Every structure is written in structure tokens, then in C-alpha cells.
Amino acid sequence: MASHEGKPIRVALLGCGTVGTEVVRLLIDQAADLTARVGAPVELAGIAVRKPNKHREVPAELLTTDAEALVTTDDVDVVVEVIGGIEPARALLLSALRAGKSVVTANKALLAEHSAELFEAADGSGADLYFEAAVAGAIPLLRPLRESLAGDRITRVMGIVNGTTNFILSGMDSTGASYAETLEEATRLGYAEADPTADVDGFDAASKAAILASLAFHSRVTAADVHREGIASVSAADIAAAKALGRTVKLLAICERVTHDDGEGISVRVHPAMIPTSHPLASVHGAFNAVFVEADAAGEMMFYGQGAGGAPTASAVLGDLVAVARNRTHRGRGPRESAYAGLPVRPMGQTPTRYHISLDVADRAGVLSQVAAVFAEHDVSIAAVRQEGRVDDASLVIVTHAATDAALRSTVDKIGGLPVVREVVSVMRVEGEES
């Protein structure tokens, strides 16, 4: 096959915000190295922006407001999308792929909803679709899943994939700062999405979980399939309850194989959970991300690094850009969509989990047995109980063994209604320990 060595790779950049500005800087600063690594110069053909008059540290002559014209021009080989959101990003990338341009994107929201359509367009023209920056920023994670681990059988992916919420939770845990203060700081540092509800309500992590589950289990998983709970309901009481038992609270994205009588499926979820402080994910602080991957032959692996911020995210974008540019220069092609396994996503209720339940109860004879009876009634086995008497009531902490999430929820509902239970102080799932 003929090589296109030497012919410049022309790049259209869509969006020039936090990530886009850093992409331009790296492309310019590292032009000579990129040329050597790709085997051809990588040149910016144009930068689509909404407000051309805004001050930016990028070459003004490359700016355009006509993104549609830019992505379909003959003079462009690769389109890099760092606008975010569904439209117009979706329409622009479909146009680009259909016109045979390879695409590099950091857009998790788009991929978590429309990857099937995008891959189909890429297949139609033989173009590449790369998106390493969409999950866990700078950390090489999607390429290991799509390529390095393609010969193994992945059983579980669990991690901290949202820097903003991790920054908030670790800030609340260590400095005692308020939720509002830490969120403001995360926004100032460029970690938070334009609308921080995407971070705090778990939408950002759910999009990433959908992408991870699709790649890990060779199945189509969209954001709508992901069970999602954010951090808005995590209280100081939850954090204190976790600390009292040597645990800490993290927002986790968990994708795992689950087997039922009717066959194999997957569970994909995002929710706050208590993990032991001895667990490696417990020491992931600030905007850092970390993801555990478990595979049959490889065993356990952990990927750790900066999951957000302009420069770290641009690093992943540039890595993908080099990969697609090399493919163009040497007439290769990256991996396509792999959804052949078609595993169904199980409802959260069927997922085996463990709960930590902290209650304020009356301190008198028979209370513990009444509470324990509710667990037995729902076939939920108790792993540990801790009771501390106070003046006229008691604090009761119960940690369960694994049971279905539906059984655990019904247990908590019924316990909350017992006359001897004054308050359900904290209910949280427990992860990262033997069940």
C-alpha cells in the first residue's frame, strides 16, 4: 500500500475554549516533533469559533464562524471537536465523517448518546473516530480498553471519573470547606463543565460510564442505560459516618458483568459510595481521576492521572490526533465500533450491592432485634453492627453483606417506618471490600 509520508495532515479545530486553546498551543509548540512522529507535518487549516472578536492566544487568520464549511472543505483531513454538547457537534461530526475526514473528539455527552450513528458514518467512509479525552482526560484508558486489552475478558471497570465531584468530596472531607466554596474553586480551575449540574448530578460521570461499559463489554450502552445518582445528597453526616468506620465517600462509576438465571448481563451505575481508606481509590484527591480495570488474564490494573483541565485534556486530544494522522499517512485505520456481544444492561434493582446504614434509635430492650428482623425478612444478611448508647437514644450502624439493590432499598424503607427508629441518618452503598 502506498504511503502518504510527507503530505501535510490538515486539521480543522471546532471550538476554542479551555481545551481548544491548549490544543492550538501544543500543535504550534510541538510542530517539529509532531511532524517527526507522524511522518508528515500536522497543520491547522482553520478554527471554528462562535465569537471571532474575543481575545485568544491563537492565530487570528485561522478563525472562522462557518464550522459546517470548514469540516467539509477538501483542504481538511482531520476534524478535532472540542465544542461540547450534542448539537451542533453531532451534525458537524456526521458531516465530517461522511466526507471521509477522521474525527478526534473530547465530547463524552455526544458519544454516550450517538456513538452508534457516528461509528456508522465512520465505517461508511473508512474514517477514524478517536475519543480518548472524553473519559478521564489525560489518562490513557480508552485506548488500553479498545486495543491493549482486546484479547482479554474484562469483568469490571470501577473508578473516579469526574474531577469536579472528587474535588468537592475531598475538599469537604479534608478541609471542612462548604460545598458551594469547593464548587466555585473547581469552576475557577476549569474542571467543572459550563453547567456544573452535569458534574454534581452525575451526568458527566454517567456519560463516561456508558462509554467505558461499551468498550469494556463490546456492547452498546448509552447514558440513558446508566443508573445515576449525584453528590447533592451527600451530607456532612454521611462523611462523618464513613470516617467513623475507616471509610471515605467517593462518586464512583462502576461497570461490571453480572450473571443471572437468564444469562449474562452488565450493570452500569454512578453513585456515591463508601470505600475503605486503605483502598487505592481513597487516596485519589482533588481533580485527579483513577480507574480500576479487572480482566480475567491481566488481573487488576489501575489507571491514574489528571482527568480534567485544559492542558491534560489537550494531551489526550493530541495523542489521538497523532494516531489518526499516522493512519492517514500510512493508510491504516483504527478500531471500529465493537458491539458484537450485545450484553443487556440489568436494572439497578437486580444489581448486587452492599449498604451502610446509620440510624438513631431508641435505647431500650428489643430494638436491635426489631431492626434485625426487617433485614431477615428481606433476606439481607448483616455483616457488622455497631451500637453506641447516648443519653436517651442510641446510634446504630449496620453494614450488610451483598444483596440485590431492590432488597436493600425495601429494607431501608421498612426500617425508616419502625416506631423505634427516630431517624435514618445516613444510607450509602459500600464498595471496594470483600462482600
Ligand X SMILES: NC(=O)c1ccc[n+]([C@@H]2O[C@H](COP(=O)([O-])OP(=O)(O)OC[C@H]3O[C@@H](n4cnc5c(N)ncnc54)[C@H](O)[C@@H]3O)[C@@H](O)[C@H]2O)c1
Does the annotation flag 286 for ligand binding? no
How far is Cα of residue 63 from the mean position of the Cα atoms in its chain?
32
Does 132 interact with Na ion (rule: CB under 5 A)?
A: yes
Does 48 interact with ligand X (rule: CB under 6 A)?
A: yes
Task: Answer yes or no: are the C-beta atoms of 108 and 85 closer than 8 Å.
Answer: no
Task: Answer yes or no: are the C-beta atoms of 145 and 216 closer than 8 Å.
Answer: yes
Does 107 interact with ligand HSE (rule: CB under 6 A)?
A: no
Residue 192 interacts with which of ligand HSE, Na ion, ligand X, none, CB < 5 to 8 Å by class: ligand HSE
Instruction: Choose between 22 and 238: whose C-beta lies nearer to ligand X.
Output: 22
Of the residues 162, 267, 327, 353, which one makes contact with ligand HSE according to CB under 6 A: 162
Instruction: Choose between 163 and 334: whose C-beta lies nearer to ligand HSE.
Output: 163
What backbone phi and psi angles, to 5 degrees, belong to 252? Answer: -110, 145
The closest of 416, 296, 428 to 360, measured between CA atoms, is 416
User: Is 51 marked active-site?
Assistant: no
Residue 358 interacts with which of ligand HSE, ligand X, Na ion, none, CB < 5 to 8 Å by class: none
Instruction: Choose between 149 and 186: whose C-beta lies nearer to ligand HSE.
Output: 186
Does the annotation flag 155 for ligand binding? no
The least distance separating ligand HSE from the CB of residue 158, rounded to whole angstroms, comes to: 16
Write each residue from 184 to 213 as x if it is in contact with ligand HSE (CB under 6 A), else as -, in one continuous string.
-------xxx-----x----x---------
Tell which positions 310-369 bind Na ion, by CB under 5 A.
316
Residue 199 interacts with which of Na ion, ligand X, ligand HSE, none, CB < 5 to 8 Å by class: ligand HSE
Does the annotation flag 329 for ligand binding? no
Tell which positions 128-147 bind ligand HSE, by CB under 6 A.
137
Instruction: Choose between 9 and 205: whose C-beta lies nearer to ligand X.
Output: 205
Write each residue from 300 to 339 as x if it is in contact with ligand HSE (CB under 6 A), else as -, in one continuous string.
-------xx-------------------------------
Three cell numbers, residue 90: 453531532
Task: Answer yes or no: are the C-beta atoms of 196 and 187 closer than 8 Å.
Answer: yes
Residue 84 interacts with which of ligand HSE, Na ion, ligand X, none, CB < 5 to 8 Å by class: ligand X
In the beta sheet, which residues pair with residue 289? 305
Buried b (16+ CB within 10 A) or exposed e, 82-117: bbbeeeebbebbbbbbbbebbbbbbbbbbbbbbbee
Of the residues 11, 12, 13, 14, which one makes contact with ligand X according to CB under 6 A: 14
Residue 82 interacts with which of ligand HSE, Na ion, ligand X, none, CB < 5 to 8 Å by class: ligand X
**Measured between alpha carbons, how far apart are the two ends of the chain, in Å?**
54
Task: Answer yes or no: are the C-beta atoms of 270 and 209 closer than 8 Å.
Answer: yes
Does 83 interact with ligand X (rule: CB under 6 A)?
A: yes
Three cell numbers, residue 26: 501544543
The least distance separating ligand HSE from the CB of residue 307, rounded to whole angstroms, comes to: 5
The least distance separating Na ion from the CB of residue 9, rounded to whole angstroms, comes to: 22
Q: What residue ranges bind ligand X (CB under 6 A)?
A: 14-20, 48-50, 67, 82-84, 88, 106-108, 133, 137, 190-191, 194, 308-309, 313
Q: Which residues are annotated as a binding site for L-homoserine?
A: 193
Residues of this chain that interact with ligand HSE (CB under 6 A) are 137, 162-164, 191-193, 199, 204, 307-308
> Which residues are catalytically annotated?
208
| Binding residues for Na ion (CB under 5 A) | 132, 136, 139, 141, 316
